[in-house]
Amino acid sequence: MLFRCKNCGGLVAFQNGDAAGTCKGCGLKQEINEHFIYEQANLFALENTEESLEQAMNLYRAVPGWKDANQKYKDCRTQLGRMRWQKESALLKAEETRFEAKISKLKKAGIAVLAVLLICIAIVTIVTLYQFKKYNTAAEFFVSAQYARSAEAFRELNGYKDAKAKVYISALELYKAKRYKEAAPYFAWLRGYTDNGYYLKKCWERIAVLDSSASSASHKVELKEDGTVIASGENDKGQCNVSDWTDIVSVAAGDRYTVGLKKDGTVVAVGENEDGQCNVESWTNIISISAKNGHTVGLKADCTVVATGKNTDGQCNVSDWADIVFISAGENYTLGQKGDGSTVIAGKDDSDLKSTSD
């Protein structure tokens, strides 16, 4: 047990039955009796802390029956219990507060998630209704034999219900009606779908511009029935060096250069190449060609367009063209006609071109 030194206030340890105790702080030897222990217990009780109350209880218990030591022992025990209960209550209250804060955050998060979910459901519902309405509109076009409009409307709905099949059926109706230019872009878009490749090929057989002769200011080119080519005129840049060409199905003549389209869809070119107008060796799936003043244009089977050569006015900026069924290379422009009859232009856009596109 412990008691406080009368001299320095330090703690002095003793065992029950000890007659005296010596302070380790100041070395004062102090007599121990019931009255001394009782008074020391009172001092610890007055400090009113958990540790001091425990010390007071130990001291009161060492002098049972001395004055009111038994009652004060009970009082200290009650006070200690009350302090510990208050401490635990405070801890529980703090934990409850933290728990409520977490619940509040979860509720807010739950409300936010629910709001997002409702918004997503609303968006999906709106999109679905929009697609449903658009599908019905496309179906009405088809029923009323407006096949070009139905093909376009169903194409915009790609992935919804049987829209792709409806594009094919609409394109097939256009083909049957000999509206090959309108049908070709849709068969091209349906790449790999059923027998679209067969009908696309048939469309190109009817609409692809294949020239058997072409001329420029300096030379003339002629395509023979056996797929070979002859050329005459100036040959200062080698533009007439076509004697070894075979399997040619169309020719084009630019300014001092010649371009040939082969049966397999590849392209050959000879002559002036200062601006890269003859750089066509990588072209494939070409079904029509055109050449003019330093640039060459090719129409691909998928209705897109490639171009190479002089691009001072942007005449070769055709990489984003689609649904094209006819091309023409001009002095400083490229013109394309779409399946629906509209035209697009890359390059110099003067009044003459505008009137052409109109």
Q: Are 325 and 185 in contact (CB under 8 A)?
A: yes
- List, in order, residues 6 or more apart from 346 with CB less than 8 Å away: 307, 314, 315, 316, 317, 318, 321, 333, 334, 336
Q: Determine the pLDDT at residue 357.
A: 42
Question: For residue 358, is pLDDT > 50?
Answer: no
Does the pLDDT value for residue 14 go beyond 70? no
Q: Measured in whole angstroms, how far is the alpha carbon of residue 93 from the centre of its chain?
A: 47
**pLDDT recorded at residue 75:** 94
Q: Dihedral, CA atoms, 310, 314, 317, 322, nearest 10 degrees?
A: -120
Say if residues 270 and 307 touch (Cβ distance below 8 Å): no
Average pLDDT over residues 300-316: 96
Tokens of 148: 């070009």
Phi/psi of residue 22, nearest 5 degrees: -115, 130
What is the maximal distance between C-alpha atoms in the chain?
A: 142
Q: Do the Cβ atoms of 296 and 289 come closer than 8 Å?
A: yes
pLDDT recorded at residue 36: 83
- Res 240 pLDDT > 80: yes
What CATH architecture does domain 213-357 belong to? Answer: 7 Propeller (2.130)
Which phi and psi angles does 205 have, rounded to 5°? -60, -25
Predicted confidence at residue 115, as pLDDT, reads 86
pLDDT digits (tens, 9 = 90+) for 43-97: 889 999 999 999 899 989 988 998 999 999 999 999 999 998 998 888 888 888 8
Q: Residue 273: pLDDT above 50? A: yes
Across all residues in the chain, what is the average pLDDT? 89
| Band of pLDDT at residue 124, cut at 50, 70 and 90 | confident
Phi, psi values for residue 16, rounded to 5° = -55, 130
> Which structure tokens are listed for 18?
């000890």
Query: Is residue 169 over pLDDT 80?
Result: yes
Three-state DSSP state, 231: strand
Q: What is the pLDDT of residue 2?
A: 65
- Roughly what angle, to the nearest 10 degrees, separates helices 163-176 and 69-143? 10
Q: Which residue has the tokens 């856009």?
A: 349
pLDDT of residue 3: 65
Q: 330 pLDDT exceeds 90?
A: yes
Q: Decide: helix, strand or coil at residue 288.
A: strand
pLDDT at 266 over 70: yes
* Greater model confidence, 53 or 114: 53
Q: What are the phi and psi torsion angles at 208 (to 5°)? A: -65, 130
Across 114-128, 171-185, 218-232, 255-269, least confident range: 114-128
**What's the pLDDT band for 35 if we cut at 50, 70, 90?**
confident
| pLDDT at residue number 355 | 39
Radius of gyration of the chain (CA): 50
- Give CA separation, 133 vs 129, 137, 138, 170, in Å: 6, 6, 9, 19
pLDDT at res. 121: 85
Q: Where are the domains of the chain?
A: 2-80, 145-207, 213-357
Is the per-residue pLDDT at 352 higher than 70?
A: no
pLDDT at 233: 97
Question: The tokens of 161 are what?
Answer: 């219900």
How much is the pTM? 0.63
Q: Report percent pLDDT > 90 for the chain.
A: 63
